[in-house]
Amino acid sequence: MTDYYEALGVDRSASTEEIKKTYRKKARKLHPDVNPAEDAEDQFKLLGQAYEVLSDPQKRQNYDTTGDPDGRSAGFGGAGGGGFGGFGDIFETFFGGGGSGGPASRTRRGQDSLIRVRIDLKDAVFGTTKEVEVETAVTCSVCDGSCMRPGTSPTTCPDCGGQGQTQRPMRSILGTVIQTQTCARCAGFGNIIEDPCQECDGQGRVRERKSLKVKIPAGVDRGNRIHLAGEGEAGIAGGPSGDLFIEVDIRPHDVFTRRGNDLHASVTIPMTAAALGTSITLDTFDGEEHLEVKPGTQSGETLTLRGKGVSHLRGMGRGDLKVHLKVETPTKLSEKQKEMLRMLAEERGEEPGESVTEHKGMFKKLREAWESL
C-alpha cells in the first residue's frame, strides 16, 4: 500500500499548512513540463493523490485509521480477502464516484484566533476600550488574495479540461467501467497558477501584526471571552476570515476583591474607635465614601454600600460594596495606658488579670443547686 506521507515527504504529525506548502514546492519540481525524468508524470500524479488525501481532514482521518481515504475496510463487506468494500463502492465504480462533480474552489475560510487581555478590576466594574496587537494572516496586498502575480491569470488544466476530475476506463469482474478521480495535475481546482504571487507564495495572504481597539463591557469577569466576527485569520485565496476571541484576565487589586458582582474590602479600626464609634473615609472606584461606625461595633461586622460593586454584565444595575470591620486590640501599651485600662475595667466591674468564666445559664444554676442538696 502506498504511504502518502512518504510520497509527499512530511511527518504524520504535519499540519495542514505544512502539507500544502510541501506540496506546492514538490509540484513545481516534479511537474512533467519542467522535470525531464521518464517517471515524472507518475511521480506527479502520486504527489497529487497524496495531497488530495492528506489536505482533506476527513480523508486523512480515514486514511490514518483504516488505510483507505474513504474509510473502507479490506474485503467484501468487511475484513478478509481482496474485492470491493461494499455495495457503495460498486455503485461508485459503475457511475464514476470519487469526485465532487466539478472543480474545487481554492478559497478556504481562515482559522479562528484567541488572544488574552489583562485588565484592572476598575475596568471590569465600568468597562473600557483596550488596544491589542494581533499577529495574524491578512489578505495579500500585492495580489489582493488571487494568489497570482498581478496581470496574470490561471490556465485551464490540460489533463482535466477544467473539470477538476479525470476519467479512465477500468476493467473489473463486472466488465469495463469508467472511474472518476480528482485530477492529480491541478489537485481538483480545474486550473493551474503558473506564475504565483511572490509576496504571499501563492497563498493569497501574508502574516503581519495589526492593532485592534476592543470594547470590553462593564461586568466582564475572568475567563469571559469577547467574540469579534471576521477579525481572525484571513482565508486562503481570498476566502472569508475567521473570528477572533478575546479572553479576559483581571489583575488582583490591593484593597478590593470580587465575589460575583459584589466587591469586598477589609478595614481595621482601633479598639477605642470601635467602642466609642467613629467615621471611616474609604477611597472607592466611585470616589470617597464616608461610613459611620456605631459605638460598640464588634470585629467581623459588615457595612454595606448599595450599588457600589461591579456592574451586571447584562445591564441590570450593580452589585454592592461590603466593608468588613476588624477591631484591633493593642499589643504594646505604656504604663499610663495600662493604668487607664485598669481604671476602665474597675469602672465596668471587671477583674483584669483573672480568668474569664462562662456565664451560668438558668438551667446550669438549677442543676448545681440540686447537686448541693
Instruction: Give the annotated binding-site residues for Zn(2+).
Output: 140, 143, 157, 160, 183, 186, 197, 200
Q: CA separation (Å) from 72 to 51, 171, 333?
A: 19, 21, 88
Distance (Å, whole) CA 247 – CA 116: 5
AA letter at 10: V
Binding-site residues: 140, 143, 157, 160, 183, 186, 197, 200
Asked if 22 and 29 count as a contact pair (C-beta separation under 8 A), the reply is no
- Of 286, 323, 285, 290, nearest to 304 by C-alpha is 323
192 close to 105: Cβ distance less than 8 angstroms: no
Half-sphere exposure of 123 (CA within 13 A, CB side): 17
Neighbours of 266 (CB within 10 A): 12
8 A C-beta contact, residue 177 and residue 170: yes
CB 215 within 8 Å of CB 166 = no
